[in-house]
């Protein structure tokens, strides 16, 4: 089993949400209806907050052992007005639910609500199916807040059950870590390259997760449009 470190637990999510959050913020700006714009903005904010939580976890781990627990963003949320912090935590823990709600609101705001509901529902379902499949194959990490700290759980992907893939992945990570250790002992640019190299495996995992999610959403959205036309007999814009 791969060791649970802050980087393996949080870095892939940070990379993925660094792609998701700007895209969602752009959807907020471009939305034609105010409720849809607000919901997209809330999703982008929650994604940025999850990024911040991961960054805090990695920073904390750099000062000591993670030991499957890290100080999390709840400490910061306690400083905001009562209720707001809990709402923020709820949003961070239910981002996919918020995305689904945004799709529902978008359909309700559409002129052709039936067609929009079919298309948006299909798109979200496709996105979630793609993300679930990626996590099943390549593994995932999750955190649950218990008594003010996050309990970290890293689930290994099915690829680790295939010796050839498992050995290749472990060898690639080990090589990156060894090269990174050599580079960080140097100064200036090489030190920065060493740190970047250490994050490379997590970057690939997070980036591939984001790409899978985006492509599945786009493909399912296109299919949903065709499905809506077949069901309603009306052309989908």
pLDDT above 70: residue 106: yes
pLDDT above 60: residue 113: yes
Q: What are phi and psi of 71, to 5 degrees?
A: -70, 135
Give the list of residues 6+ apart from residue 172 with CB closer than 8 angstroms, or none: 201
pLDDT above 90: residue 35: yes
162 vs 55, residue with greater confidence: 162
pLDDT above 50: residue 66: no
* Confidence category of residue 6, pLDDT binned at 50, 70, 90: low
Sorted by where each begins, the domain ranges of the chain are: 6-232
Q: Where are the alpha helices (DSSP H) in 94-187?
A: 95-109, 113-138, 163-184
* Mean pLDDT of the chain, nearest integer: 83
Give me the pLDDT at residue 89, please.
Answer: 72
Give me the pLDDT at residue 1, please.
Answer: 41
Rounded to an integer, what distance in angstroms lies between the CA atom of residue 127 and that of residue 212? Answer: 8
Give me the pLDDT at residue 65, please.
Answer: 46
The per-residue pLDDT for range 117-156, each reduced to its tens digit, is 999 999 999 999 999 999 999 998 776 655 555 566 778 8
Give the list of residues 6+ apart from residue 26 with CB closer than 8 angstroms, or none: none
pLDDT above 60: residue 95: yes
Pairing between β-strand 140-146 and β-strand 69-71 as defined by DSSP bridges: unpaired
């Amino acid at each position: 089993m791969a060791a649970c470190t802050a980087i393996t637990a949080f870095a892939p999510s940070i990379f993925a949400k660094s792609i998701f959050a700007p895209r969602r913020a752009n959807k907020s700006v471009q939305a034609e209806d105010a409720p849809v714009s607000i919901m997209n903005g809330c999703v982008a904010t929650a994604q940025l907050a999850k990024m911040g939580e991961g960054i805090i976890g990695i920073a904390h781990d750099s000062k000591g052992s993670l030991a499957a627990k890290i100080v999390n963003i709840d400490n910061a949320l306690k400083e905001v007005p009562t209720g707001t912090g809990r709402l923020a935590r709820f949003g961070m823990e239910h981002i996919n639910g918020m995305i689904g709600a945004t799709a529902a609101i978008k359909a309700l705001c559409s002129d052709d609500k039936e067609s929009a509901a079919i298309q948006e529902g299909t798109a979200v379902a496709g996105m979630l199916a793609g993300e679930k499949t990626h996590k099943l194959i390549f593994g995932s990490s999750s955190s649950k807040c218990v008594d003010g700290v996050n309990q970290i759980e890293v689930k290994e992907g099915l690829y680790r059950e295939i010796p050839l893939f498992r050995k290749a992945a472990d060898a690639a990570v080990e090589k990156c870590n060894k090269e990174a250790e050599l580079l960080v002992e140097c100064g200036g640019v090489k030190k920065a390259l060493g740190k970047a190299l250490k994050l490379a495996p997590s970057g690939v995992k997070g980036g591939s997760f984001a790409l899978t999610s985006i492509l599945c959403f786009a493909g399912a959205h296109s299919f949903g449009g065709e499905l809506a036309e077949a069901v309603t007999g009306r052309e989908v814009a």
